[in-house]
Amino acid sequence: MTGIRRIFIANRGEIAVRIIRSARALGIETVLGVSRADRESLGAKLATRAVVLGPAPSRDSYLRVGTVIEAARGTGCDAVHPGYGFLSENRDLAQACAEAGLIFIGPTPDNLSAVGDKLTARAHAIAAGVPVVPGGTVESAADALALAETVGFPMLIKAVAGGGGKGMKRVDDAQSLPAQLDLAMAEAEAAFGDPRVYLERFVTVGRHVEVQILSDGDTVLHAGERDCSVQRRYQKVVEEAPAPHLPPEMRQGLLDAAVLYARHIGYRSLGTVEFLVDVARGAFYFLEMNARVQVEHPVTEAITGLDLIALQIAIAEGTPLTLTQDDIHLSGHAIECRLNAEDPARDFMPSPGRVTQAWFPPVPGLRVDTHMQPGAMIPPYYDSMVAKLIVWGATRDEAIDRMKTALAVCVLEGVTTNASLHRAILSDGDFRKGGVDTNFLGGLLQQPGGLT
């Protein structure tokens, strides 16, 4: 396969800027597809060229497969990079790229089919010998009650096509199960057009740990794990690598299971296998595989020295991995804080508007991934994340201290951000100790003065 000369980036915001940076270093031109709301964005200015896909709403621009393909071909691109979100895990886009003679910088259509449906992904885990949370599919209240007798309460109802906590309900007893099941199915239908749900044992004290995978279709490597347990309403807020205070046997088990899963489905590209660690039982379970670059990929880059986007592009070109597992060395500790334009004091209400000041001064070990600059507009149509602050330290304590310094000196004015939330997290004694579970942030927010 010949090398890629020009990439069409079907995304926006900080990930578009991030892809442009790696492409430029590789000598590859970029064309950025933008909505009308993003015509003056930093990504549009940095790309070799920008083209308008359509109006501001995602459904009329970033989510239109046919428009993306037409724009990529019309601008002479060889490849399409979908970033994360939007069409990044859309099988139709990957298939349309193949039919149009474009390289999809991501996994194969078959890979996307294997992991895009949670039940199919779960079945692959079972076939690969990777542990899954006890549970199963249900179609009625009678099914759910029968399954509950085997698995036990509390249970979690999850939408098959879901994500971001939508269609997800905790159930603590048999009396509330039928009503919660109906509610979850209706919510799943409204959000995803698919009412299917399944039930799993609810892990009351769990950690969210994920493994970064690299595969060219033959060689499967891991680049360590990340801890993403600091979450609000199932949305990640702070991520770090490596995961603190994991028993060595469990850490190795997670890494091995992720490689086993990727090898089982013949995965090719960058990807992340996510697990739930049951703290009480000392066990871990497969959650899902994200067949794309993750928001939090910079923490892995910080501790490995790898450029994951560059590797993703090389794999898409058909270049075999020259790395071996022994070539990937983990050094120090890295933490990422997602800076969102939202107001923690008003139940995290989004805070769109114009940025009047954006200043990210040098701090030892600090990397900032952002599309913000003075005068930038934050539209109300998209995700509220405006920057990622990533720090590296020789130790976890040093990384925490550097992040606290970064939050103190970095300036983003004109809109309200969740910087106060990050300061509260980093100052919390339990977080400092390391190894918090997914209940941590909810408990912190309920404390008096939790954001001071």
**Coil, strand or helix at 344:** helix
Residues catalogued as catalytic: 292
Residue 222 near residue 255, CB atoms below 8 Å: yes
d(CA 441, CA 452): 14
The residue whose two tokens read 């039930």 is 199
Q: Is the peptide bond before 380 cis (omega within 30 degrees of 0)?
A: no
The phi and psi torsions of 49 (rounded to 5 degrees) equal -155, 150
d(CA 377, CA 368): 18
Query: How many C-beta neighbours within 10 Å does residue 36 have?
Result: 14
Residue 334 near residue 239, CB atoms below 8 Å: no
d(CA 259, CA 438): 24
Region class of 393: left (phi > 0), else alpha (psi between -120 and 50), else beta: beta
d(CA 242, CA 27): 32
User: What is the full DSSP assignment across 43-73?
Assistant: HHHHSSEEEEEESSSGGGTTT-HHHHHHHHH
Q: Exposed, middle or buried: residue 210 (CB in 10 Å: 0-12, 13-18, 19+)?
A: buried
d(CA 114, CA 7): 26
Task: Find the helix or strand (DSSP H, E) in which 147 lies.
Answer: helix 141-151
User: What is the full DSSP assignment across 100-133?
Assistant: TT-EESS--HHHHHHHHSHHHHHHHHHHHT--B-
The residue whose two tokens read 């951000």 is 417
Handedness of CA 290, 291, 297, 300 (dihedral sign): positive
Residue 194 near residue 161, CB atoms below 8 Å: yes
The end-to-end CA distance of the chain, in Å, is: 55
CA distances from 343 to 347, 369, 383, 416 (A): 7, 21, 14, 6
Residue 199 near residue 412, CB atoms below 8 Å: no
Rg (C-alpha) for the chain, rounded Å, is: 21
